Structure 1
């Protein structure tokens, strides 16, 4: 059975429900019909007349009502799945771009690595030169102190 009159989704009906829905879908809406409890279609009276003899009038509907919100829920889920899929595709594109950019940065870093190594070597040399300068400064102060001492004598 399909609920095409509402939203076009397809729902499976089996057994008695399928037979009922098949019968109902063939009924002409121009002629009012009454469904008996057995599920058969019986025209009652002339068109325009009402069943006033205590019979329950059913207007071409199955025994179990079709839940149109179920079809709408399926469509909502389908739309949500499509949107989620699109978001995942966007995230995939973003992650691919990030990966490319990271690779580019890694290549640039690799090309700069010799210069960075030179900077580290220069920094170590400057540090050792500073230590040598402090040692030279303290030694020169000691020599100056000795020279002044000798000069005073």
Structure 2
């Protein structure tokens, strides 16, 4: 009878140990699945934030494109005036050179006139 009781006790202990093992494995797997689920939730949140940032960046890029287009249009409309300014600058430069030559010529004439006046 003692042998039977030992066999019965071992069987009960083994059943309890198996139940405890399966309970712990279940807890472990639940923990792993919960952690994986939380990681996916975090990844989903990160993707949503990234989407929002890219949406904002896209809107900013569109506004910059519009502003750039307007600046380009303004530059094109100012182009004839800029060309006139360049032509005017060239004319002023030519006029300035002519004024320097005229000044030099008038100084020579003045020197000749003074030379004639002294005689």
Alignment of 1:86-97 (within 5 A): 86-97=52-63
Aligned residues: 102
Q: Corresponding residue for 1:103?
A: 69
Query: Which structure: larger Rg?
Result: 2
How far apart, in 1, do the equivalents of 2:35 and 2:104 lie? 92
How far apart, in 1, do the equivalents of 2:91 and 2:37 lie? 77
1:129 to 95, 99, 113: 95
Unpaired segments ≥5 residues, structure 1: 1-51
The structure with the largest helix share of the pair is 2
Q: Corresponding residue for 2:3?
A: none
1:65 to 10, 18, 29: 29
Deviations 1:71-109 (A, max 9, x none): 111111111111111111110110000001111111111
Unpaired segments ≥5 residues, structure 2: 1-11
Answer 1 or 2: higher relative contact order, Cα 8 Å, separation at least 6.
Answer: 1
Aligned structure 1 segments of 4 or more residues deviating by more than 6 angstroms = none
